[in-house]
A and B are shown apart, each in its own frame.
Chain A
């Protein structure tokens, strides 16, 4: 029972500019739940992608039941007995449950004729074992997100895997389904399945897992038996690191420029905070905590259901993004490729996208002026490119991020919200971006920093708010903020 079903040694995976996995040894045994935790970007997802065949490792080996294996794609991994349930939906809404569970693998004869009775029967069995009360003939489009998640799990189980990987399975399901899911996991354990369970919810780890492994910065920190450790141990292993960034302690006089009271939106409720002039407040939390949603609502990109926002003392209700920008609020989006950049357009066009209405005479653009202004910012931010006429798609991640920054520098808002400003950015550019932020505050701009990078939040912010599942769980001043303290609040651990 001690011999592992799945074992990996020395796994290395690099992406351009990022060392995602720096040599990981990991294993999971039959009949155990092995939990994985760690910050966003610590390497858990990359390892799971490798185990499920989507990525191939640059170095290292995978052993399944003692035999060395290689997966060129997910289908091969599935065939060999590894199944994964991702956070993102892989279901086809236009088909029913049974056809999604046996996606592209419906039982059929050699002419490809589907055996429907068999399909429904086998689906029925799987659903029953999961205690899901769903008719296999139901269209997926009419199921709730929670039920869809269960169908995803059924889909993975239909592969009859030896190893099941679950990535944040409880993220979108209700209490009742969580109970059912846990019962299922216990059952699978008894039947000898090896389960890798990724979760931010530390409570679940202690409920389900035999062993837990902590990842940090691309390396496996430590593996331990769950009985031997507690929350503090986990938090400590997840974040304990030497802070490379020096904190600069600042005295920020109380001068409230933005005050948010009881804000409620689609996925957050009762959010209240204040921002002083020239201050940088950090919003820490785990993925899905709702920080981006709050910021988008303040920026006018999403509707606000309840609550009040006061800008320099006067109440405001952002109607749309143009309105917010005109009032002096800027927003650097989380996903620069999808939301921030016009990839096939020039750097200059990207930089001037939010401010072009303000330059030029009357209805006409002043192309020359926009070019010179863009040049100016290009120099100032040290964007590595020969000309601002270059297409943005050619730049590295860090330089692309600088371009988006430049856009907001041109607008020069009084309040600047930056969402994951250094995600996918190399170390050098990171430091430059921090410098940009500090410079902005010197000029009187106040900054809200949303970030999952704890050292970043801690070294840049004057104060830190922590969010968990749509609510603010705590406020820490720069000095009293330790990584453990933040992580505890972010994980929803309350000091009872």
Chain B
């Protein structure tokens, strides 16, 4: 990655047209630039607060768990679909795994059951969309609702029958054993474990998405489903796989989230899909499908959490954050619409 950046910097003349072409071609440069700008700006303005290891660690930690969801969402959008259920899958998983543990199921068993269940539902939704032909927006809207409801139900059950009786004052506490919490709360070198997990998963998927045969198919399918079918790509099967992957990743995110927070809550994860979509679009993945890169999506996500971090440091009102995020998304999207019009030399 560093190499390509250097190469680009030493290219010929910098006419505005050429620069725009370059950026359009390597869309991940946009969020990367934004991140660089942010880092520099805050290093200069708030050196004491920003440049501490603590701040960086917490920034990366904030980002690490949503990163899972972002990866899944990127695959779906590139593939020409959308998955509105991911936030609820995260919420359901967090409650489900907590509940199972509190009911006495061994930690790894609880995680396995939760993730497998979500993957199974993901498969079902995939069949609904790819096989039956239901619009993915509506299908995942519906499955999201179902997950939400299930999550609330599971939480109630765990609350009533859990062996660790929760604090009667707070309705959202399910005390979890250290053996579970350590999955997310241990630190290595000053960074909590989820940061490393995220790094690993990101690395895997960035490589897979850009270099593997299987994932290249998603680009083809998203660009022209019919032509992909006629090129010998098993469109149905591959699309269903995307739903399974998205559900699995979201489920893992939910597990990590509850491990990090220390207790299950029915608010964790809700709304994450919108953040993921924002991140992914800022990163250059288009709603039209067939374009965008995983690394771009990751940078987009990182940038979104940088802004989050920025607002926390400057103590800015949280609503300002909403406005800024919205403006950035809007610009990204308008830019995307304009970029599509250019004839870009690859």
Contact = CB atoms under 8 A, between A and B. Distances in A.
Contacts of A338: 224, 226-227
A346 B228 CA distance: 15
Interface stretch (B55-63, B117-125, B158-166, B231-239): B231-239
Contact of A342 (B290, B340, B343): B290
A331 interface: yes
Contacts of A299: 230
A394 B341 CA distance: 12
Given A322-B232, A353-B228, A390 B211 contact: no
B28 interface: no
A146 interface: no
B148 interface: no
A345 B219 contact: yes
A354 B346 contact: no
Contacts of A73: none
A294 to B, nearest CB: 15
A322 B233 contact: yes
B314 interface: no
A319 B219 CA distance: 23
A170 B139 CA distance: 40
A365 B290 CA distance: 17
Interface in A338-357: 338-346, 349, 353-354, 356-357
Interface string A188-213: 00000000000000000000000000
Interface string A311-324: 00000000011101
A407 B345 contact: no
A367 B207 CA distance: 13
A365 B211 contact: yes
Contacts of B219: 342, 345, 349
A363 interface: yes
A356 B291 CA distance: 18
A320 B213 CA distance: 19
A364 B346 contact: no
B141 interface: no
A407 B231 contact: yes
A339 B290 contact: no
A326 B214 CA distance: 17
A301 interface: yes
B156 to A, nearest CB: 42
A340 B346 contact: no
A390 B345 contact: yes
A340 B223 CA distance: 11
Contacts of B212: 363-365
A389 B234 CA distance: 25
A288 interface: no
B234 A322 contact: yes
A346 B227 contact: no
B216 interface: yes
Interface residues of A, number: 37
A342 B80 CA distance: 13
B3 to A, nearest CB: 15
Contacts of B223: 342-345
B344 interface: yes
A356 B234 CA distance: 14
Most buried by B among A320, A325, A367: A320
B226 A391 contact: no
Nearest to B219: A345
A360 B214 CA distance: 12
B224 A301 contact: no
A321 B211 contact: no
A31 interface: no
Contacts of B214: 363
Contacts of B211: 364-365, 367
A394 B342 CA distance: 10
A322 B344 CA distance: 31
A363 B204 CA distance: 13
Contacts of A343: 223-224
Contacts of B345: 386-387, 389-391
A357 B212 CA distance: 9
Contacts of B234: 320, 322
Interface in A149-166: none
Nearest to A319: B234
Contacts of A357: 213, 232
Given A322-B232, A342-B220, A394 B343 contact: yes
14 contacts: A301-B230, A321-B229, A321-B231, A333-B227, A338-B226, A340-B227, A342-B224, A342-B290, A345-B220, A357-B213, A357-B232, A363-B214, A364-B212, A390-B345
Interface of A: 299, 301, 320-322, 324-326, 331, 333, 338-346, 349, 353-354, 356-357, 360, 363-365, 367, 386-387, 389-391, 393-394, 407
Given A342-B227, A353-B233, 13 more contacts: A321-B231, A322-B234, A333-B227, A338-B224, A341-B227, A349-B220, A353-B231, A364-B212, A365-B212, A365-B216, A386-B345, A389-B346, A391-B343
